[in-house]
Structure 1
Amino acid sequence: MQHDPVNMAQAQALHPNWRTEDTILARLAQNAAEVPNQVAMRERDHGIWQEYTWADYLRAVTEFAAGLEARGVKPGDVVMVIGDNRPNLYFAMLGAACLRAIPSPAYADAPTEELAAQMEREDIRVAVAEDQEQVDKMLEAKGRWTHLDLVIYDDPRGLAGREPPGVAGFDAIRAEGAARLKADPGLAQALIARPTIHDTVVLMHSSGTTGAPKGIPLKHGHVLSGVRNAAAAGYFQQGEVHMAYLPMAWVGDFIFSVGAAMELRFTVNIPEANETALHDLREMAPTLYFASPRAWSAMLTRVQVGIAETTGLKRRLYDWFMPRAMAVERARLDGKPGGGGLTHWLGEWLIYGPIRDQLGLGRVKRAYTAGEAIGEDVFLWFRAIGLNLRQFYGQTENCALAVAQKPEDISLTTVGRPFPGVDMKIDEHGEILLRGDNIFDGYFQNPKASAEALRDGWLHTGDAGQIEPDGQLVVLGRVSEVVEKRDGTRFIPTYIENRLKFSPYIKDAAVIGQGRDMLTAIVCIDFQAVGQWAQEHGVPYTSYAELSQQQRIYDLIAGQIADVNAHLPHGLSIARFVNLHKEFDPDDGEVTRTRKLKRNVIDDRYGPIIEAMNAGAAEIDFKAQITYENGQTGSLDRVLRLSDVKGAA
């Protein structure tokens, strides 16, 4: 079925401040007209940077749009886009938007069953895939969703000249479109002018922690409003240099790499592969950089591992300067002045500047983190080397742009103040409510969920929070995750889990205690950081599973948990824990693609471990489910230690 185009009268009434012709495509056309030869996008391909000017960008989008239309794509059709960050995939999304069709990005590592379910929910007939691997998944998904008519591929390796029925190359579609544009000189301009600010420019999706992901349509107006609000707050600036490495299915990538890039003329840099992103970062030298707390922590771990392996002089210099810089930042966190002087100057010359340069962050002026709480040591370390790292808060429903810290707002517990154009309040239940032109208008074909989320003009975020006297927001966790122990003590598992993950040795954790007498935790160690610790302390191992069960590793993790317990209210200490034999895996259904816990899966799969911890057992013979690379599943018997945490109250 074809989805109904937007009802213009209703849309205009909902957003009276929006101008109909003010679209992301109009911004692209304006950039191509005013700075045609300025580089808009760069991609590292086989070690060589390929550049696309704004004129190139516009030509690719309109040619692909014309070719897509020739293949039957109509207004309201949903077009799936899947793969890693690639110029042609961005061109494809905006080409679909020219036709008032709706690009729907999917996570590159999503298995076939998830993709087929998304196709069925969104009635997808056309998909754009990065390479042969993704094309194979599309064709396999046709076994369940038979209405997929056309798959367009970007990378020709293994496909060019051998296309199965219903498969065509991006270049071939673009060539068809170029022929149409040549025959009709006014078509390119007409394609850019077709969409209005009230049309959906991208269809994002919720995490799906408790069921099927919900579609979240973001219109041109939502995205541009969010970007302009952020720019007014100094969050973005004109002409930023940005690295597009986040998953294309995550709202942040579209907002940064497309929305803000069009509005503020970013230069968007695309790494050769996810595996080379940190290496390529040095050559890109971005001015703007966003990473999740997990990614910042992994970057810090990489530096610490490198320092441990470097020469004695370099290690001694690092060990002398960094604690002093950290102490200065900790004092600033407490509102005390500090820094400057000869020590800081020498540290900048010998340690901080070289580290920033080695990481590729030497030119970064705006560094951000969001998604969950960040550990104090991680936060302070990056600030200590000269990055003004700040936190922000947002959701897909508000274009990920709602609240952020100002440069002078140095705080671990808050996420800042609302952007200009965004209203915020806390309701009587402690839920964070937001209002503004960047707030979406409702879920995709889901009026019930839309009515629950949008009430009286306010977005009910589902997050619990409080506003400090200085106007800064504190995010406590999901309202729906407030649970009680057997004795009635209330707690939010996510709050405790995030603090456990402040430790460099803990990658994931699930805290269990609802309806029980005590809190227990399932811990997934960070293999790199714990492996480095084991190497330094003479702990032998051959695999993740073996390392996780070593007694000295249990002692290490118990110490990390005890540190967290010391800062938790009485009655909410973690009493017992297990080091799991594996990481939580989205392919096993334990976490979402954005690594949010699926608690029902955790509770069900690891129920025997949870019961054994609560019963006081010292170990458990656990039959572990495993998933092989071919998608088949099996089981493996594991003996897992169950450990107490000293001093838990």
Structure 2
Amino acid sequence: MHHSGERGERPAIREKSRGIWRTVTWRELAEEAAALAAAASARGLQRGAHVALLGDNRPRLYAAMCAAQWLGAIVVPLYQDATADEIASSIESAKVTHVFAENQEQVDKLLEILPRCPTVRCIVYDKDRGMRHYKQPELVSYASLLQQGRQLAAEKRDFLQAEAARGTGQDSAFVFFTSGTTGPAKGVVLTHASLIDRARVAAATESLKDTDVAMAYLPPGWIGQNLFSYVQPMVVGYCVCCPESSETMLADMREMGPTYFLATPRVLEALLTQVTMRMEDTGGFNQRLYRAGMAAAHRIDAGKTVSLSDRITAAACSLLIYGPLRDVLGMSNVRVAFTAGDAAAPALVTFFRALGINLKQLYGSTETGFFVAMQRDGQVKPDTVGPVADGVELKFTEQREILVRSPGMFKEYHRDPETTAQARNADGWFHTGDAGYLGDDGHLRIIDRIKYVGALNDGTAHSPKLLENKLKFIPYIKEAVAFGDGRDMVCALIDIDMAAVGRWADKRSISYTGHADLASQDEVYELIAEGIAKVNADLAQEPALAKSQIHRFVILHGELSPDDGVLTRTGKLRRGVIAERYRALVDAMYGGAKEVRIDVEAGHADIKVRDAEIIGHRQIRSAA
């Protein structure tokens, strides 16, 4: 309502549909939210009830979010690609009464679980394609609900004003279900005040304005996407753009020219692969200039003293190569970009900064309101997540676990006081489960999840995330899982990037019939072995990491996927599930086997196990 009065005709949300961008102004958004709130109230939505959202980022789902919170209801954003069982678990836990769903696909999942979710009384669907013959009494179209609300608008005006006035900052705003990396997902309850505080701090730090533009393309069930595309726009008044689909994302970004951008490391790794493949195709002068320019840009960004030739090379590369690359990525106008959601490899951050993109890391969790530490302009160090954000306090246990106290702190775990008390003590300190430390420079450095920090049998510290990030910087590796805690050496499971490796194989006339066949090719094993050898050479140059080199590896015959339960919906590894699922492969690597037979859907598959090249100090000196 504030933005409707202050900047009513400015764009609030844009959506691309069938190739055409449609704009919703702040005035239109406020009117639509009011109408939806009136109709939802008539259909039994009450203060304190829980409303689930299921679908991609769409203006109508954001309007539904506004309407629900107008009435004092609590919003439960769900992952659009979640299975019916995953959805049922969240809906049952939150006792959801109303659901806003995007399309037939989402409605079908809801109807499947409806017998298990007796609290659900109303399902509102947006897109009606394929819904003509659905007659369930719980169903109502978004268009019908909106029409009903507009008819009730005059009658409900005083009621809606009274409901808005009843709200306070301490009311529960959202229940976000955690990704479930280390155990069952928990419902994290956050208040309006906690989220507004963190959004204001981030907006002030980055000097965000109502002329900024952001993209809403990450899972709506993740707190990071909601902060960037819902909470911060409510604080600042900037515009959010919803791409047509994941396939058109880059083209849509080029058209909208976002100035404020959020990406997970997994998204950045995919973009890195695209850039690397594009540059490999150029060859000749452009490729040599690109490599020289990247090296010079790395030195400049690191603040090192650089020569005039370095500056000339970087400038030429920016003009001839980086500028067009930023345009291809849709990042020509990006003023501030953040990566969050998981630890990003320092080399990944450095790569995008070398392209001229102001990429910075931020650290936080759902329970802490997301913004705990964030890098500042002019103070970006790729191996840190920056100084703590304003208002945040940190301290560390003897095991280096990070404890946080913040105005953005969660209210509770939904209907789970015991787990809430275990996670946050009486003084308000939240146990993050992450290991890290503050450097002398005041920057926070993250080691890994404390649960996964271990040691090899010889006492060498083992942090799997550090090794995996180095492996994933290889453009042909999409995912890697490192093992070593309590063992004599480090071994790794490798999930190849099918598109990148397939392109590489096609150029060399290597025939294959699919993912499993490609992953089994000796030439592909040699390709991955070369990449691992480079990672081992990098590790060997650091005394603390030299004994952490990867000794053996296996290329998985299929892609790691959230649908198989081995990744979370935000792309994080579920290590316990992976260790159990691929126990035979892990045992084979450590048992010295050259091949292992495993059961697959089609019967069985023979998976090769290969040794990696271990780099010694003598080899490094010789290479130097």
- TM-score over 0.5 (shorter chain): yes
TM-superposed CA distance for 1:155, in Å, is 0.7
CA distance 1:184–1:379, change in 2 (3 Å): closer
Alignment match, 1:431? 401
Q: Structure 1 386/190 Cα, relative in aligned 2: closer, same or farther at 3 Å?
A: same
Paired with 1:308 and 1:594, the residues of 2 have a C-alpha distance of 29
Give 1:269 deviation, angstroms.
Answer: 0.6
Tell me whether 95-104 or 480-489 shows the greater mean CA deviation: 480-489
**Correspondent of 1:461 among 432, 446, 459:** 432
Alpha-carbon displacement from aligned partner over 1:130-166 (angstroms, at most 9, x marks no partner): 0001000000011332332221101111225744221
Q: Partner of 1:6 in structure 2? A: none
Q: Does the CA contact (< 8 Å) of 1:82 and 1:129 recur in 2?
A: yes
* d(CA) in 2 for partners of 1:603, 1:127: 36
1:512 aligns with 2:480: no
Which has the higher mean CA deviation after the structures are superposed, 428-437 or 86-95? 428-437
Deviation at residue 185 of structure 1 after TM alignment:
3.3
One-letter amino acid of the structure 1 residue matched with residue 431 of structure 2: H
How many angstroms does 1:90 deviate by?
0.8
| The one of 353, 357, 360 aligned to 2:330 | 360
* TM superposition shift of 1:377: 4.7
TM-score for the superposition, normalised by structure 1: 0.89
Other structure's SS at 1:142 match: helix
| 2:588 alignment counterpart | 612
> Counterparts of 1:335 and 1:129 in 2: how far apart (Å)?
49
Which residue identity lines up with residue 245 of structure 1 in the other structure? Answer: Y
2:196 aligned residue: 224
Shift of residue 35 of structure 1? Answer: 1.3
CA contact (8 A) 2:210 2:239 kept: no
Letter in 2 for 1:472: H
Residue identity opposite 1:478 in structure 2: R
Work out whether 1:268 is the aligned partner of 2:240.
Answer: yes
Aligned residue for 1:578, secondary structure, equals: strand
Amino acid in structure 2 at the alignment position of 1:347: C
Partner of 1:86: 58
What is the correspondence of 1:101-120 to structure 2 with a 5 Å cutoff?
101-120=73-92
Count residues with an aligned counterpart.
608
* 479-488 or 285-294, which deviates more: 479-488
Paired with 1:537 and 1:375, the residues of 2 have a C-alpha distance of 30
Instruction: Show CA shifts across 1:585-642 (max 9, x none).
Output: 1111111111222222212221111112111110011112xxxxxxxxx453111000
Measure, in 2, the Cα distance between the counterparts of 1:99 and 1:460: 33
Give 1:428's aligned amino acid: E
Structure 1 position 441 matched with structure 2 position 411? yes
Counterpart AA for 2:34: T
In the TM superposition, 1:390-401 aligns within 5 A as: 390-401=360-371
SS at match of 1:51: strand
1:546 to 490, 493, 517: 517
Partner Cα separation in structure 2 for residue 61 and residue 78 of structure 1: 17
- Matched residue, 1:532: 503
SS of the aligned residue for 1:397 comes to helix
**Alignment map for 1:489-500 (pairs within 5 Å):** 489-500=460-471
Helix, strand or coil: the match of 1:593?
Answer: coil
The corresponding residue for 1:25 is none
3-state SS of paired residue (1:480): coil
Question: Is 2:272 the counterpart of 1:323?
Answer: no
How much has 1:334 moved relative to structure 2? Answer: 4.2
SS at match of 1:100: coil
Q: Are the equivalent residues in 1 in contact too, given 2:350–2:382 (CA < 8 A)? A: no
Q: 1:530 Cα shift? A: 1.7
- From 76, 99, 105, the equivalent of 2:71 is 99
Q: How far is 1:262 from its partner? A: 1.0
Report the Cα offset of residue 353 of structure 1. 1.7
Shift of 1:325: 2.3
Shift of 1:428: 2.5
TM-score for both structures, normalised by structure 2? 0.93
5 Å matches for 1:26-37?
Answer: 29-37=1-9
How far apart are residue 285 of structure 1 and its match?
Answer: 0.4
Q: 1:539-563: CA deviations, max 9, x gaps? A: 3322111111111211222222233
Q: Distance in 2 between matches of 1:376 and 1:533?
A: 26
CA shift, 1:47, in A, is 1.1
Residue aligning to 2:621: none
Unmatched segments (≥5 aa) in structure 2 = 617-624
The one-letter code matched in structure 2 to 1:446 is D
Distance 1:544 1:341, change over 3 A: same
CA pair 59-317 structure 1, distance change in 2 beyond 3 A: farther
Deviation at 1:332, TM superposition (A): 3.0
Per-residue CA deviations over 1:482-524 (Å, capped at 9, x if unaligned) read 2344455442322322222222121112222333333221110
| 1:187-242 C-alpha deviation (Å, 9 max, x unpaired) | 34334333211112221111113432100111111111101111232264443111
* Structure 1 residue 341, shift from structure 2 partner: 5.3
Of the three residues 184, 192, 196, the one matched with 2:164 is 192
Shift of 1:252: 0.9
Secondary structure of 2:432's partner?
strand
**Deviation by residue 1:79-117 (Cα, 9 ceiling, x = unmatched):** 111001111111111211112111101111111111111
Q: Secondary structure at the match of 2:146?
A: helix
Q: Secondary structure at the match of 1:595?
A: coil
Residue 323 of structure 1 aligns with an amino acid whose one-letter code is R
Give % identity: 38
Letter of the structure 2 residue corresponding to residue 520 of structure 1: C
* TM-aligned CA distance change 1:94 to 1:328, over 3 Å: same
Answer yes or no: is the 8 Å Cα contact 2:273–2:476 preserved in 1: no
Query: Counterpart of 1:80 in 2: which secondary structure?
Result: strand
Check whether the contact 2:468–2:482 (CA below 8 A) recurs between aligned residues. Answer: yes
The answer for the alignment partner of 2:620 in structure 1 is: none
Contact 2:46 / 2:71 at 8 angstroms: preserved in 1?
A: yes
Aligned to 1:596: 572
Q: Give the Cα separation in 2 of the matches to 1:160 and 1:170.
A: 14
1:460–1:587: structure 2 CA closer, same or farther, 3 Å change rule? same
Question: Which letter maps to 1:498?
Answer: N
Alignment map for 1:399-414 (pairs within 5 Å): 399-414=369-384
Superposed CA offset, 1:232-261 (max 9, x none):
322644431111111100111110111111
* 1:645 corresponding residue in structure 2: 612
| Further displaced range: 487-496 or 223-232 | 487-496
Match of 1:587 in 2: 563
